């Protein structure tokens, strides 16, 4: 498949619009998911389980959706994702109406189908891009997250009390976002992957790909960056409210965090092009460490703001750097296998992190302060894992 940056930029513009509009549902659901779960669950230790089910849905969707896109194209795959998001919103609204935690979890799983599809936006952005434009395309796409960061948190404020049943309005807004946003994908123009025949070179197996140092380290760093961001962010609304602040404060802190996730994207691609993926991923891990230290230093509202902003910046450098590293570590005919496997592991690890987040926050100490401390201390071994993998890769001189 030949690359054409004119076509790549056109597709990127459409994906940026989708990221900006459809992406608003993710901060909305992460803001209210734990709070709604806490109101529905019989045991508060399971308050963040709805968020875990979103991520679990994304994890289990990634392999089959990646293969689906390899066979039928990105356009149809993204429409499937938006359909899942709309169904998730509808089921979630009904679950709140009948006060069913179990059904709320089912709706969360369907939302995970959308989350998985959104994860593939970054790969679709480079499908028709030249090697030089790829890190910039990923970076520009991620920068579009600024819009849903603001739009999502404001929509929560506008809709969470719109009905007698708390948070139901949020889920009606999610339905509308997915139905309207799905039409954007009709304008994508990403050529179908070349069909394989007996003369097509066979790509490496998944096991062979995992044995490649660059693939393995890219997956590890993406897993750790995303999982630690999710671990801390999932508990943040519970911690903010538990420490005596309001739900509006929690929404503003999450908005600041999401801004931290995406503002650096305006220059992350340029930094990667200049300094290389290994250095930028390493910087991301250092910033994640700083975020944990800020969170452990106090429970003032400023601690929550700065800790979560640094958490977002660390995620940005770590995750975009790891994605760029992965993109250069496989052949075009290995795309479906590599991308599906990557997101399966990434979101599998994120699922574990989000499950652990609720348990650590609500059930590891006697009060919210002790729970918040446990959440942030839990970052340490995983930062050591990712840092050690980068040192090992550098020793192989393959970065």
Please compute the mean of the pLDDT values over residues 293-318 and round it to a whole number.
94
pLDDT value at residue 200: 58
CA–CA distances in Å: residue 367 to residues 46, 363, 370, 374? 16, 9, 6, 11
Kindly indicate the confidence band of residue 307, based on its pLDDT and cuts at 50, 70 and 90.
Answer: very high
What is the phi-psi region of residue 197: left when phi exceeds 0, alpha when psi lies from -120 to 50, beta otherwise? beta
CA–CA distances in Å: residue 154 to residues 147, 303, 306? 11, 22, 20
What pLDDT digit, counting tens, does each position of 60-110 carry?
Answer: 898 889 889 888 889 999 999 999 999 999 999 999 999 899 999 999 999
Instruction: Report d(CA 304, CA 25) in Å as an integer.
Output: 22
Q: Which CATH number is 253's domain given? A: 1.20.1250.20
Model-level pTM greater than 0.85? Answer: no
What tokens does 270 get? 């340029």
Whether the CB-CB separation of 137 and 125 falls below 8 Å is answered with: yes
Instruction: Report d(CA 90, CA 172) in Å as an integer.
Output: 7
pLDDT value at residue 2: 44
What is the phi-psi region of residue 100: left when phi exceeds 0, alpha when psi lies from -120 to 50, beta otherwise? beta
| Torsion, CA 37, CA 40, CA 41, CA 45, rounded to 10 | 40
Whether the CB-CB separation of 191 and 1 falls below 8 Å is answered with: yes
Is 196 a member of any domain?
Answer: no
Domain residues for the domain of 42 are 5-190+208-396
Q: In angstroms, how far is CA 263 from the centroid of its own chain? A: 15
What pLDDT digit, counting tens, does each position of 334-358 carry?
Answer: 776 787 788 888 888 888 887 788 7
Q: Report which listed range, 123-132, 228-237, 304-313, 316-325, is most confident.
A: 304-313
Is 18 a member of any domain?
Answer: yes
Is 134 a member of any domain?
Answer: yes
Is 272 a member of any domain?
Answer: yes
Instruction: Report d(CA 179, CA 7) in Å as an integer.
Output: 26
Whether the CB-CB separation of 351 and 343 falls below 8 Å is answered with: no
Measured N-to-C along each axis, helices 168-181 and 101-119 cross at an angle, to the nearest 10 degrees, of 30
What tokens does 388 get? 């050690």
pLDDT value at residue 399: 45
For residue 366, give the DSSP letter: S
Instruction: Report d(CA 357, CA 367) in Å as an integer.
Output: 15
Looking at per-residue pLDDT, the higher value among 273 and 77 belongs to: 77
Pick the range with the lowest mean pLDDT from 202-211, 240-249, 375-384: 202-211
Instruction: Report d(CA 37, CA 104) in Å as an integer.
Output: 8
Identify which of 46, 50, 128, 139 has the alpha carbon closest to the alpha carbon of residue 89. Answer: 50
Kindly indicate the confidence band of residue 33, based on its pLDDT and cuts at 50, 70 and 90.
Answer: confident
Longest CA pairwise span in the chain (Å): 65
Number of domains in the chain: 1
pLDDT value at residue 332: 66
Is 202 a member of any domain?
Answer: no
> What residue has token string 């689906």?
68
Whether the CB-CB separation of 117 and 82 falls below 8 Å is answered with: yes
Pick the range with the lowest mean pLDDT from 64-68, 118-122, 134-138, 295-299: 134-138
Is 200 a member of any domain?
Answer: no
Q: In angstroms, how far is CA 257 from the centroid of its own chain? A: 13
Kindly indicate the confidence band of residue 237, based on its pLDDT and cuts at 50, 70 and 90.
Answer: confident
Looking at per-residue pLDDT, the higher value among 301 and 33 belongs to: 301
Is 373 a member of any domain?
Answer: yes
Instruction: Report d(CA 367, CA 381) in Å as an integer.
Output: 24
> First vs last Cα of the chain: how many Å apart?
26
Kindly indicate the confidence band of residue 149, based on its pLDDT and cuts at 50, 70 and 90.
Answer: confident
- Percent of the chain residues past pLDDT 70, beyond the cut: 93
Radius of gyration of the chain (CA): 20
- Percent of the chain residues past pLDDT 90, beyond the cut: 39
Is 167 a member of any domain?
Answer: yes
């Amino acid at each position: 498949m030949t690359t054409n940056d004119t076509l790549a930029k056109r597709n990127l513009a459409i994906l940026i619009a989708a990221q900006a509009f459809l992406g608003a549902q993710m901060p909305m659901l992460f803001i209210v998911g734990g709070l709604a779960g806490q109101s529905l669950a019989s045991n508060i230790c399971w308050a963040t389980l709805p968020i875990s089910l979103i991520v679990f849905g994304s994890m289990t969707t990634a392999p089959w959706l990646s293969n689906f896109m390899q066979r039928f194209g990105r356009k149809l795959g993204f429409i499937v994702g938006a359909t899942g998001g709309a169904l998730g919103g509808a089921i979630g609204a009904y679950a709140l109406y009948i006060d069913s935690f179990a059904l709320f979890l089912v709706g969360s799983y369907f939302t995970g189908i959308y989350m998985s599809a959104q994860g593939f936006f970054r790969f679709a952005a480079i499908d028709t891009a030249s090697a030089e434009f790829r890190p910039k395309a990923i970076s520009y796409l991620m920068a579009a997250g600024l819009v849903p960061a603001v739009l999502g948190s404001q929509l929560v404020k506008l809709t969470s009390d719109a009905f007698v049943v708390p948070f139901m309005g949020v889920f009606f807004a999610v339905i509308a976002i997915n139905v309207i946003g799905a039409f954007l994908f009709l304008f994508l123009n990403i050529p179908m992957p070349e069909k394989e025949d007996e003369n097509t070179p066979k790509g490496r197996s998944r096991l062979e790909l995992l044995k490649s140092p660059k693939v393995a380290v890219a997956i590890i760093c993406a897993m750790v960056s995303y999982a630690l961001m999710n671990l801390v962010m999932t508990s943040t609304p519970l911690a903010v409210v538990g420490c005596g602040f309001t739900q509006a404060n929690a929404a503003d802190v999450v908005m600041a965090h999401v801004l931290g996730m995406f503002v650096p994207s305006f220059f992350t691609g340029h930094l990667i092009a200049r300094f290389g993926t290994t250095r930028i991923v390493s910087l991301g891990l250092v910033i994640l460490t700083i975020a944990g230290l800020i969170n452990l230093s106090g429970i003032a509202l400023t601690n929550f703001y700065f800790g979560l902003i640094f958490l977002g910046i660390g995620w940005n450098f770590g995750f975009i750097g790891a994605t760029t590293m992965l993109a250069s570590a496989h052949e075009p005919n290995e795309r479906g296998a590599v991308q599906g496997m990557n997101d399966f592991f990434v979101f599998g690890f994120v699922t574990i992190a989000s499950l652990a987040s609720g348990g650590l926050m609500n059930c590891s100490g006697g009060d919210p302060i002790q729970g918040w401390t446990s959440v942030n201390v839990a970052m340490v071994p995983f930062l050591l894992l990712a840092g050690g993998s980068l040192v090992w890769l550098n020793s192989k001189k393959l970065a």
